[in-house]
Structure 1
Amino acid sequence: MDSAQRIRAILSFVRAADGGSFAAAARSLGISSAAVSKNVAGLERALGVRLMNRTTRTLTLTAEGAAFLHQARVALTALDAAVDSVAAGRVEPGGKVRISTSAGFGRDQLMPALPGLLARHPGLSFDVDFDDRRVDLVQEGYDLALRGGTITDSALVSRPVCRLNMALVAAPAYLAHEGVPRTPAELGRHRLLARRFLGGRVSPWAFHTAGGGTDAFEPEGAVLTVSAPEALVQAALAGIGIAQVGVHHVWEHLRAGTLQVVLADCHHPGTYEMTLQYPHRALLAPRVRATIDYLLDVFAADETLHVPIAALRPFAV
């Protein structure tokens, strides 16, 4: 008798003992009385002892049957406890979650979210890499990644976090000294701050055209080119020049008056977005599911990630 047959036979025996008949056991298990009788008989053969004395009307336990019933209940209780333990793991997730994120988004959005996530699920722990490169989640063993940019189709599941609207900004002191550009053509006489992606390409700026299209503008001859968007914000705040940055990076500086928006009427905010990505799995681990659900809720409530372009107008010059 294999393990599966043994469990079925023990269940049939216990239910028959509890119900007082094979018919009662059959009703509780959803099988036929004949199947219950066969299961009990098979168990007796495997054990080499009679467990029950049967008549047409009653079942009575033998001494060996009474002793076995006690041990069977202990075994079934242990089995139920094991099932309950796994089920509890689904209710209260635990374990390590590996996350890949950019330095800026990780510092400003992910890290502030982790205390609340740990308070809700104290069994979780996190291993976070702050890396702007595009990682291979499957090959490198990450559970999820927070990625910004132009997201291409892939085998990964992508959950949108927000649009990454861009804006041109400069410090009031810089604009007071150098003047405010009124058209894209006037940018040629200004000090420009550019961002270089890890692949070496410089991020272009885009402007609306009268015909409804867009023109790309390459910030050639930039006075400063950096790879981190946070460094662009620092340079703009220092009055070095005009930078194109994500609105979420500068929203608080705009509200504080330490940066202003230029060319708001014609600058194109871009098509960048932030997504939360993870490998497709039919049964996502509870620790990963809990993390994803919590982070998406927190990011949805973060107003700095969802500033509409129209909200920039009061800060434009």
Structure 2
Amino acid sequence: MDMLKAMRVIAEISYHGSFAQAARAMNLSAPSITRIVAELEADLGVRLFNRSTRSLALTPEGENFLRRSEVVLQEIEALRDVTKEQHTNPSGKLVVTSAVTFGNEMLAPILPEFLRRYPQVSIDLRLGNRPVDLIEEHVDVALRVGSGPLPDSSLTAIRVCGFRMIFVATPSHIERYGFPGVLDDLVGRPIVKLAIGSWGHVQRLTAPEGEIDYSIPNQYVVDSYRAQIWGVLNSDSCALMHDYVAKQELEAGRLVRLLPDCQTVEQDIYALYAHRTLMSARIRVFIDFLKEVMA
């Protein structure tokens, strides 16, 4: 038996004073209303209404049932209103995960602005390079480089931005070695290579002559984005560096871009979240914010 539906039926009958009018109010047939009441009375083992051809009144048991039912129905209505309000006005805790470097370089600087726009939202930012189970670990949004095959069919991926790796160097490097005209001009120059495990030793580049595989020299190898940028800034070296890592230093003039026609193929950053429908307002505005700010 659908107890909530039965509660609403009793409340409507009491309000209208008629089975027929309650049926019309609930868009049900009169026999359906009669059946629901009969099933409820049988389930409870009490009579809820004293009925005759000319009168209809709640029994004492019916009055008690109605009184308690109204409390339950009001709580359900309040819950519905609160849930709708949360969907419309962003609020609540937002758990976000990201790889360490992307989180430090891209997310951390922009999150204060998001919190200023949506002061009723709080953020729990978790940085790490291990795979995360969004559902098991109660994560709202995960930022990933390339969506790949989604680990769970209940997940949805939305592209928020893209990045490339570009060649950069310090102004002192340019003074000493000059601007390279082609990729081969970098041969023999000091370079800081970023390599994490098997990744980073060879990069696929787009160049005027097409796509090529570029093997980066092993003169100075690091496995940290921060180590790479400090290695370049504190020497006369150059590097193939993520554009979002180099962005601030380029704008400040501490780095200069080299070979602008030679860079890696663009890779996409995706926001992953669970469930395909009824996206909460805090997740929706967060993803919209990322697309706006990182565009």
Per the normalisation by structure 2, the TM-score is 0.80
Q: 1:68 to 1:199 in 2, by over 3 A?
A: same
Contact 1:167 1:247 in 2 (8 A): yes
1:193 corresponds to = 192
Q: Distance in 2 between matches of 1:157 and 1:199?
A: 29
**Which residue among 258, 262, 270 is the counterpart of 2:265?**
270
In the TM superposition, residue 225 of structure 1 has moved relative to its aligned partner by 1.3
2:1 counterpart of 1:13: no
Q: 1:22 to 1:232 in 2, by over 3 A?
A: same
2:171 corresponds to = 172
Pairs within 5 Å for 1:21-170: 21-45=18-42, 46-49=44-47, 51-55=49-53, 57-62=54-59, 65-66=62-63, 68-91=65-88, 92-95=90-93, 97-103=95-101, 105-119=102-116, 120=118, 122=120, 124-129=122-127, 131=128, 133-137=129-133, 141=137, 143=139, 144-148=141-145, 152-155=148-151, 157-170=156-169
Q: Distance in 2 between matches of 1:127 and 1:138?
A: 13
Q: 1:299 to 1:42 in 2, by over 3 A?
A: closer
Contact 1:170 1:239 in 2 (8 A): no
Contact 2:121 2:282 in 1 (8 A): no
Contact 2:183 2:259 in 1 (8 A): yes
Contact 2:142 2:272 in 1 (8 A): yes
2:217 corresponds to = 220
* Structure with greater strand share of residues: 2
CA offsets per residue over residues 232-255 of structure 1, 9 Å max, x none? 222222233111112222233223
Contact 1:205 1:244 in 2 (8 A): no
CA offsets per residue over residues 135-193 of structure 1, 9 Å max, x none? 24359736233233x65333453322222122211111121122332222221121122
Q: Distance in 1 between matches of 2:4 and 2:218?
A: 77
Q: Distance in 1 between matches of 2:48 and 2:239?
A: 87
CA offsets per residue over residues 206-253 of structure 1, 9 Å max, x none? 35254xx2222212243x211123332222222331111122222332
Q: Distance in 1 between matches of 2:186 and 2:77?
A: 72
Q: Distance in 2 between matches of 1:186 and 1:256?
A: 26
Contact 1:102 1:147 in 2 (8 A): no
Q: Distance in 1 between matches of 2:9 and 2:174?
A: 85
Unaligned runs of 5+ residues in structure 2 are none
The one-letter code of the counterpart of 2:275 is: R
**Which residue among 255, 262, 267 is the counterpart of 1:259?**
255
Contact 1:207 1:215 in 2 (8 A): yes
Contact 2:204 2:211 in 1 (8 A): no
Contact 2:160 2:271 in 1 (8 A): yes
Deviates more, 1:152-161 or 1:27-36: 152-161
Per the normalisation by structure 1, the TM-score is 0.75
Residue 197 of structure 1 aligns to a residue whose secondary structure is coil
1:181 corresponds to = 180
Q: 1:109 to 1:50 in 2, by over 3 A?
A: closer
CA offsets per residue over residues 250-300 of structure 1, 9 Å max, x none? 2332233222122224x134232322234x5345773xx623x33333333
The one-letter code of the counterpart of 2:179 is: V
Q: Distance in 1 between matches of 2:20 and 2:70?
A: 20
Contact 1:52 1:65 in 2 (8 A): no
Contact 1:117 1:294 in 2 (8 A): no
Deviates more, 1:255-264 or 1:6-15: 6-15
Q: 1:110 to 1:36 in 2, by over 3 A?
A: same
Q: Distance in 1 between matches of 2:26 and 2:234?
A: 76
Residue 245 of structure 1 aligns to a residue whose secondary structure is strand
Contact 2:231 2:237 in 1 (8 A): yes
Unaligned runs of 5+ residues in structure 1 are 307-317
Higher relative contact order (CA 8 A, sep 6+): 2
Q: Size of the alignment, in residue pairs?
A: 288
Contact 1:99 1:142 in 2 (8 A): no
2:286 corresponds to = 295
Q: 1:231 to 1:151 in 2, by over 3 A?
A: farther
